[in-house]
Structure formats: structure tokens, C-alpha cells
């Protein structure tokens, strides 16, 4: 019943998916990335909408994320992009999940349980071409392939890599990663593996590096309406809203919230909002952000609290208790604006919107 909620526009989500398809064409498939609760948008509802739109697969980070989808009767192929721990092999196989493999220990655990179950398990091999995070290094690929070639219950369905700087000003690093990836693909083929799927392109690369499309792409942030590059018309999917629950007047010289970080320089009208850092509205936004109310914007003043935030509505005509306030997602305050004020990126702003903020699908 708390008057703070996130409106998720599924038509906008579908429109963004169609923008991806417009760029890549019909010959390239899509793994829609729905990890981190679909970047805070609600993985189950978002996944169903994306499958309806034509997504070939879904991508998540963890087994738990995949199981939430399976328990909601989503049967589409799900790729575990973050790999699995050996003890998760049984759960992954029982629920028909597609693990990514970059660890020999995980590969052996999957093969062992697959053999016991009488199954062949499809997997995607992850190779590292310069992200230096997860993946088999280029110098170790031949030895790794020699080891997994002995694991007869594993089937290499795909191979992929991840770009470190596809949205950067310089194209050189990404072009080098693409070159390294193609060389690794050649070695993989020479070792007797011919994966059906090859993928490397994230949202930025989909738009900037057509040579990276291969035969699958992995859109993430662009599905949710952010990260668009000139010529790609994306729609915001989440509008984070709340309502004013109290209005008060303070004199010049009075301070607001913890630590008195805001001191009024004039008689000021303050509106209190039921949203705070426990909802994902970061403390870093204190005295920096703005919100949208009654057709204009108002500044956030004082320290953002766990459950509450205050705004200066002195210049907002006719403001009343119960007025709707857009925290981000309309034409006046975007998620990119909030990310800039918080010295972060839209990914973090969206994915940290808390569980107690109810999602309303429209």
C-alpha cells in the first residue's frame, strides 16, 4: 500500500526488442539478458514479454535466477552466463539449463552428473579476449579443449566472449577483441568442435560493431531503454514514481535531514517522499538530484534517508499532499540524469530499485 512504485511498460520493452531485430536482421538470433531481475524490471514478466516478441533464448547470471523463470513455467532456453559451481551441476541439468563453461572443475562435475543421468548437456564455452574477468585465456585454450574433449556427455553448443569497452570512444580495443575471438574460433574448429552458436555483441556492440554480430547477440541495457546510440530509438521501460506524503514550511536558516547538509537560505516549502536508499534511491543523490512534479522539476534537499527523501517545492505552484512525483523515467528526469548525479551508470540505478518497490505492469 506504500505509494512508491515502478511502472514497467511492456509495450516499450517490445519496441526496444524490435529495434534490436531491426539492426541485426532475421539471420541473427537474440539472447535477451534478464539477469539481476531483468535489470530491476521483474524477470518473469519481462521474460514472457520478450519470448512473445521473438527472443530465441534468455541469459541470466545465476542458477537461482534461472530457477525463478523455470518455476514460472518459462521453458525457453536459458543460458547461465556466469557459469556454475560444481555443486550446482545437478540442479542445472535437472532444470534443462545451458551452463557456460570456463572451468575444468565445473565441466567435470557437469559431465559426471550428465553421465549418471544418461544425458548429453549442451554448454557455451566462454573465452576471454581482453575483459580479464571470466573465460578461458587464449594461451590456455588448446590445453582446455584437449581436456574437455574427453568429457563425452558434454556438447559444445556455443562459444562466446565479452567486450570490455564497446561503448568507449576508441574502437581499437573492441576491434582487437573481435580479432582475438575469431582466431580462437579457428583453434576451436581445428580441435574438432563446431559450435552452433557464436556470440559476442552486447548492447553497445550491437549498435556500433556490426562485425561482432556473429549469429547471436546479447542485448541487455538497450532492452530497458538506455544506452541508445544515434539512430536507435529506444523507449524507457521503467518509470519510478512516488507521492508526496507531507508538506511543511521552514524559515531561512533551518536545516533539513541528517547532518544538516541542507540549510535554507529563504523561507522554504518542503515535500517529503516515501522513498529512500533502502528502495535503491541512493544516498549519493542527496542535494544533487531533481525529481519531476506538476510539470516541472524540484531539487532533492538534505540527506536521503533509508525510507524518505525531501524535495524543495517552493517554486512548484499549487503543490499538494498526494501529488504524484516521477523520480525518473519521464521527459523531465531520465535514468541517465539520475546516474550522472550519482556518479554511476544507468545499469546500477535500474538494477538496485528495491524489492519493496512494487512493479506495476502496463
Reported as a single tens digit per residue, the pLDDT across 299-352 is 999 999 999 999 999 999 999 999 999 999 999 999 999 999 999 999 999 999
Q: Which pTM was predicted? A: 0.95
pLDDT number for residue 321: 98
> Among all chains, which residue has been given the C-alpha cell 547477440?
217
Mind listing the pLDDT tens digit for each residue in 21-41? 999 999 999 999 999 999 999
The angle formed by the CA atoms of residues 197, 200 and 201, to the nearest 5 degrees, is 120
The helix (H) or strand (E) run that includes residue 154 is strand 154-160
Percent of the chain at pLDDT > 70 equals 100
C-alpha 286/C-alpha 290 separation (Å) is 10
Find all residues with CB under 8 Å of 26, minimum gap 6, and list them. none
pLDDT band, very low/low/confident/very high, at 231 (cuts 50, 70, 90)? confident
Distance between CA atoms of 104 and 87, rounded to whole angstroms?
13
Is 35 considered catalytic here? yes
Q: Which of 94, 210, 258, 355 is catalytic?
A: 258
Report, as an integer, the average pLDDT of 136-152: 95
Exactly one of 35, 126, 241, 243 is catalytic; which is it? 35
Per-residue pLDDT at 245: 98
Where does the pLDDT of residue 202 fall: very low under 50, low under 70, confident under 90, or very high at 90 and above?
very high
Q: What DSSP character marks residue 259?
A: G
Alpha-carbon span 344 to 315, nearest angstrom: 29
Mean per-residue pLDDT, 292-298: 98
Q: How far is residue 128's CA from residue 114's CA, in Å, rounded to a whole number? A: 26
CB-CB contact of 326 with 241 (8 Å): yes
Predicted pLDDT of residue 151: 96
Say if residue 184's pLDDT is above 90: yes
Q: What is the mean pLDDT of the chain?
A: 97
Contact of 159 with 127, CB cutoff 8 Å: yes
Q: Residues 62-96: pLDDT tens digits?
A: 999 999 999 999 999 999 999 999 999 999 999 99
Helix spans in the chain (H): 10-24, 35-40, 43-53, 63-70, 89-94, 104-117, 141-148, 172-190, 203-208, 335-341, 346-351
In what side-by-side order are the strands of the sheet with 358-361?
246-250, 268-273, 309-312, 296-301, 290-293, 324-328, 238-243, 4-8, 358-361
pLDDT, one tens digit per residue, over 232-251 is 999 999 999 999 999 999 99
Spatial CA neighbour of 41 closest among 78, 8, 3? 8
Amino acid at each position: 500500500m506504500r505509494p512508491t512504485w515502478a511502472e514497467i511498460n511492456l509495450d516499450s520493452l517490445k519496441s526496444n526488442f524490435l529495434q534490436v531485430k531491426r539492426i541485426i536482421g532475421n539471420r541473427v538470433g537474440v539472447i535477451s539478458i534478464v539477469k539481476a531481475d531483468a535489470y530491476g524490471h521483474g524477470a518473469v514478466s519481462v521474460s514472457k514479454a520478450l519470448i512473445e516478441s521473438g527472443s530465441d533464448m534468455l541469459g541470466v547470471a545465476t542458477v537461482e535466477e534461472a530457477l525463478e523463470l523455470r518455476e514460472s513455467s518459462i521453458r525457453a532456453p536459458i543460458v547461465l552466463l556466469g557459469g556454475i559451481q560444481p555443486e550446482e551441476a545437478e540442479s542445472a541439468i535437472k532444470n534443462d539449463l545451458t551452463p557456460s563453461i570456463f572451468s575444468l572443475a565445473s565441466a567435470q562435475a557437469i559431465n559426471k552428473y550428465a553421465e549418471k543421468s544418461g544425458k548429453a548437456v549442451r554448454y557455451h564455452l566462454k573465452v576471454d579476449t581482453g575483459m580479464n574477468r571470466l573465460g578461458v585465456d587464449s594461451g590456455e585454450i588448446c590445453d582446455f579443449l584437449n581436456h574437455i574433449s574427453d568429457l563425452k556427455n558434454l556438447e559444445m553448443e556455443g562459444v562466446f566472449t565479452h567486450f570490455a569497452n564497446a561503448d568507449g570512444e576508441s574502437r581499437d580495443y573492441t576491434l582487437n577483441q573481435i580479432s582475438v575471438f575469431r582466431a580462437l574460433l579457428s583453434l576451436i574448429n581445428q580441435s574438432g568442435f563446431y559450435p552452433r552458436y557464436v556470440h559476442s555483441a552486447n548492447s553497445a556492440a550491437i549498435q556500433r560493431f556490426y562485425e561482432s554480430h556473429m549469429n547471436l547477440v546479447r542485448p541487455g541495457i538497450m532492452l530497458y531503454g538506455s544506452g541508445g546510440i544515434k539512430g536507435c530509438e529506444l523507449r524507457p521501460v521503467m518509470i519510478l514514481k512516488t507521492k508526496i506524503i507531507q508538506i511543511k514550511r521552514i524559515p531561512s536558516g533551518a536545516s533539513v535531514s541528517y547532518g544538516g547538509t541542507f540549510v535554507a537560505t529563504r523561507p522554504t516549502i518542503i515535500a517529503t517522499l516515501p522513498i529512500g536508499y533502502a528502495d535503491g534511491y541512493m544516498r549519493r543523490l542527496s542535494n544533487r538530484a531533481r525529481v519531476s512534479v506538476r510539470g516541472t522539476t524540484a531539487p532533492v534537499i538534505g540527506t536521503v534517508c533509508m525510507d524518505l527523501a525531501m524535495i524543495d517545492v517552493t517554486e512548484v505552484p499549487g503543490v499538494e499532499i498526494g501529488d504524484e512525483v516521477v523520480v525518473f523515467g519521464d521527459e523531465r528526469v531520465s535514468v541517465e540524469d539520475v546516474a550522472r548525479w550519482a556518479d554511476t551508470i544507468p545499469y546500477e540505478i535500474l538494477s538496485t530499485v528495491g524489492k519493496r518497490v512494487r512493479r506495476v505492469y502496463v
